[in-house]
Structure 1
Amino acid sequence: MKKAPTIRDVAAAAGVSVSVVSRVLNPDSGPVAPAKREQVLSVISDLGYRPRAAARELSAGHALTVGLVVTDLANPFFAQLADRVVWEARSHGVQVVVMTTQEDPHLEAESLDTLLDRSVGGVIATPTGGNIEKWDRLRDLGVNVVFVDRAIAELGDVDVVSIENSDSARRATDHLIALGHERIGLVTGPASTSTGRSRIGGYRAALESASIDIDPILVRDVPFRGDGGGDAVGSLLALPEPPTGLIVANTAQVQSSVRRLVQMGVRIPDDLSVIVFDDNPWTELTSPPLSVIRQPIGMLAVHSLELVLGRMQGRLPAGARTIEVKADFVPRSSCAAPARSATSKSATR
């Protein structure tokens, strides 16, 4: 069966960018020179290209629809992100279809098929890392895609919005090093994800800059779902030489990690200095309040929506954009210089 022509095929045959074809299909989205418009329309006719329903909606002046695919709404980070995207979209008169994948590539594939059926014009997504062909097909059919929080290496031509993950991890590690810590544990997301790799990279860069030997046993990459954070913390503190500082760079595992510390009776910061990646108010209500890397969720939502709408309306030039938003480091009293007795106390637990 012959594959149906895509918007990219039209652009290639006409010798123009995809954004120009989009403007031809959606007259209100931007100007196109008359000769170029006729050229694109001729190619559309020759190839038998059929614009998607979403494009017809746009040209008819109906409300735009954007798909939002997040991995886990039980994770406060993604719950807040979804809420902010919907809020921002409403202010632009845009409808949002929210899907959740629960970190399952199979559910993600089903979600993408559903969004195609709904004829969305764009998708903002936190990808699981798989379904490369599905993402390519979505874009071949003219759907504009923006990845938020994570990226996929094989899809380097997709717009990405994230925090400065490497820089954030480096700043957290630098803070503990400045206090005198050399044994610093890191609990992060899976190394198969761009966020996990970047945060491990920032951690390692800080240690290397301070001429501190990197001990791989102090780095634990754990799944986003489940209680892997608490298990990782327990195993780190059971080491013959446990860490005196800990960075929990897996936002979904912060509560599990802190819960395990409380259950073990670890005194913060006397036994262990702690920094977490989180944006929840409860982190300053603990005793002591936790030092945090505060992720600017609102800015992630704003930039993601601006990018996807800019692509849908043909207002942005060709070429992928990567926007990295600086996160705030908020030092609190959960960090202090390491006590000489901390190692022996932790090792006996």
Structure 2
Amino acid sequence: MKKAATIRDVAAQAGVSVSVVSRVLNDTGPVAPAKRAQVLEAIEALNYRPRRAAQQLSHGQSDTIGLLLADLTNPFFARLADRVVAEARSRELQILLMTTQEDPHLEAQALETLLDRSVGGMIGTPTGHNIERWEKLASLDIPVVFVDRSISQFQHMDVVSIENIESAATATRHLLARGHRRIGIISGPLDTTTGLDRVRGYEQALQEYGLARDDRLVCPAPFRGDRGATAMAQMLSLADPPTGVIVANTAQVRVTLRMLSQARVSIPDDLSVVVFDDNPWTELIQPPLTAVRQPIDMLALHSVELIHARMRQKLPPTPRHVRVAAEFEERASTSRVDPDDG
């Protein structure tokens, strides 16, 4: 593992004394502007982290994992956080949890904070931005495991996700086999791997049935807000609306269902619905929802196992891509239609 820079390294790089570096870091005394600038440049060039360096010198390694998740108001991420904490605790590891709220600016701040807190590894759900900050972790030899989503530029990172393409294809085939030919999808943003892969799976299933994609039925939506409801309303207002819809954006399931209820759309008589969700209420409401059940427990297990092994340097450097199969639960929210009508 690359040795962390020390305060003496910073002093040597900047051409000043250790006491000058200390005064800059702790703001405990006057420093000439030119020398301050030299020290700050050296800190940046060496990726010097005072807390991290001190901990590594005294303990050799950190047993704290940074967990950077997208949005804890989303039940998927709330449960994922709970399971990651449980898996970490069983291995005597500590978790430092932060959220991005799907905001790249907050993600950048959180990454800097976690670096300052001397984490030994990172499990994260990236927004798709802040490429240089994620790269900075790699340059410091801090292992990273992306969970649920990844960043396409980072083929060298470990990734744990569900089989998004196959899961969306299975959901689409389910509706196609029941005669539906006008099928809409509300996905995540197409600049995220989950959003893009689920649309790819949807398109794959359509092609198997000789059907072309209708762009009006493909509606990417952010992971926060109520854009899913707006997308659903737009699809229903078409002259040839869908007879079935897949809500492949977990964060948009509730707002979409609320919109359908307010519009008095009967499920499945007027519209068959498949959701990506695994909350207990999906089988308790009327009608119970046909769902792609995401294996959150397995995502947490594999993520913690991977990061723990990386932190202990027990794996070869080749990146691991773990994809876990999701379960398809057929319930009462989908029905058959005449293909000539669908």
Q: Is TM-score (shorter-chain normalized) higher than 0.5?
A: yes
Distance 1:244 1:58 in 2: 61
Which residue is equivalent to 2:130?
131
Retained in 2: the 8 A contact 1:185–1:219? yes
Task: Return the offset for 1:58.
Answer: 5.2
Stretch deviating more after TM superposition (182-191 or 136-145): 136-145
Q: Over residues 155-205 of structure 1, what are the superposed CA-to-partner deviations in whole Å (9 max), with x where a residue is unaligned? A: 110000000000000000000000000000000000000000100000000
Which residue is equivalent to 1:277?
276
Retained in 2: the 8 A contact 1:244–1:271? yes
Q: Over residues 93-152 of structure 1, what are the superposed CA-to-partner deviations in whole Å (9 max), with x where a residue is unaligned? A: 111000001011111111011011100000000000011110111121121100000010
**1:59 and 2:60 correspond:** yes
Which residue is equivalent to 1:192?
191
Evaluate the alpha carbon distance shift between residue 210 and residue 319 of structure 1 in structure 2; reply closer, same or farther with a 3 A threshold.
same
What SS class does the counterpart of residue 234 from structure 1 fall into?
A: helix
- 5 Å matches for 1:239-250? 239-250=238-249
Which residue is equivalent to 2:310?
311
Retained in 2: the 8 A contact 1:247–1:276? yes
Task: Return the offset for 1:59.
Answer: 3.1
Task: Return the offset for 1:226.
Answer: 0.2
Distance 1:265 1:341 in 2: 25
What SS class does the counterpart of residue 103 from structure 1 fall into?
A: coil
TM (norm. structure 1) is 0.82
Distance 1:297 1:57 in 2: 36
Which residue is equivalent to 2:222?
223
Retained in 1: the 8 A contact 2:179–2:338? no
Q: Return 5+ residue gaps in structure 2 as ranges.
A: 5-45
Which residue is equivalent to 1:70?
69
Retained in 2: the 8 A contact 1:271–1:338? no
What SS class does the counterpart of residue 153 from structure 2 fall into?
A: helix
Letter in 2 for 1:191: L
Q: Over residues 243-266 of structure 1, what are the superposed CA-to-partner deviations in whole Å (9 max), with x where a residue is unaligned? A: 000000000000011111111111
Which residue is equivalent to 2:260?
261
Distance 2:126 2:144 in 1: 11
Evaluate the alpha carbon distance shift between residue 53 and residue 166 of structure 1 in structure 2; reply closer, same or farther with a 3 A threshold.
farther
Distance 2:3 2:197 in 1: 34
- 5 Å matches for 1:1-349? 6=2, 52-53=53-54, 55-56=56-57, 59=60, 64-338=63-337
What SS class does the counterpart of residue 155 from structure 1 fall into?
A: coil
Q: Return 5+ residue gaps in structure 1 as ranges.
A: 9-46, 344-349
Distance 2:250 2:173 in 1: 19
Distance 2:285 2:307 in 1: 38
Evaluate the alpha carbon distance shift between residue 313 and residue 184 of structure 1 in structure 2; reply closer, same or farther with a 3 A threshold.
same
Name the % identity.
54
Retained in 2: the 8 A contact 1:57–1:64? no
Retained in 2: the 8 A contact 1:127–1:150? yes
Distance 2:197 2:75 in 1: 21
Retained in 2: the 8 A contact 1:55–1:121? no
